[in-house]
Amino acid sequence: MALSPSAALEALLFASGEPVTKKRIMSLLGFSVSQLDTVTGDLRNSLFNRGLALIETHEELDLRTAPEAGELIKKMREGELTKDLGKAGLEALAIIMYNGGATRSEIDWIRGVNSAQIVRSLMLRGLIERTEDEKDKRKFIYHGTTDALAHIGIGRVEDLPRYAELKKESELAVAAETENV
């Protein structure tokens, strides 16, 4: 059974976990500008009075929790911040720190699972920040913060265990992968 156009857009935005450019959406779903406008309106209407909302800028679309759920989400996030990072959080943070920054897709690829919630949790805690990828303006690169270094208990990234060795191995692996593409 094929998805309706608005269900396809909803699935794409949900799976992304971050804003997606309208240009990319049109490319992935084969929509024209007018089709995207129609489908965006359909999705916005279907989300009315539900827990999600479609957020739209001139260039991007994003699926977020509805403003009416703000207090509930605030309670949940407060609970998240009091919990330990856990294995998944430490894995993602290690990937970011040892690589000197990583995109969400790189983190997902290395971990083998969707890391959107982990990345969001790390950002909420102030352990990572994101910057626009200069090579591809559609992506963000996540970097460790000074709070992350303090959380780990080191003064600089080079003080991570086996940093030089693992950094070199990582660079060789990326170079080998790039040659195969």
Q: What is the CATH number assigned to the segment(s) 5-68?
A: 1.10.10.10
Angle between helices 104-111 and 116-124 (to 10 degrees): 120
Contact predicate 131/139, CB 8 Å: no
The closest of 107, 90, 97, 120 to 18, measured between CA atoms, is: 120
pTM of the predicted structure, to 2 decimals: 0.54
Backbone angles phi, psi at 101, to 5 degrees: 125, 150
Please give the Cα distance from 64 to 17 (Å, whole number): 9
Every domain of the chain and the residues it spans: 5-68, 84-180
Residue 77 pLDDT class (50, 70, 90 cuts): low
The confidence score (pLDDT) of residue 27 equals: 95
Residue 81 has pLDDT above 70, yes or no: no
Percent of residues, the chain, with pLDDT higher than 90: 36
The confidence score (pLDDT) of residue 10 equals: 95
Q: What is the CATH number assigned to the segment(s) 84-180?
A: 1.10.10.10
Q: What is the pLDDT of residues 94-151, one digit of tens each?
A: 899 988 899 998 899 888 899 998 999 899 888 999 999 888 888 899 999 888 887 7
**3 state SS of 139:** coil
The confidence score (pLDDT) of residue 80 equals: 56
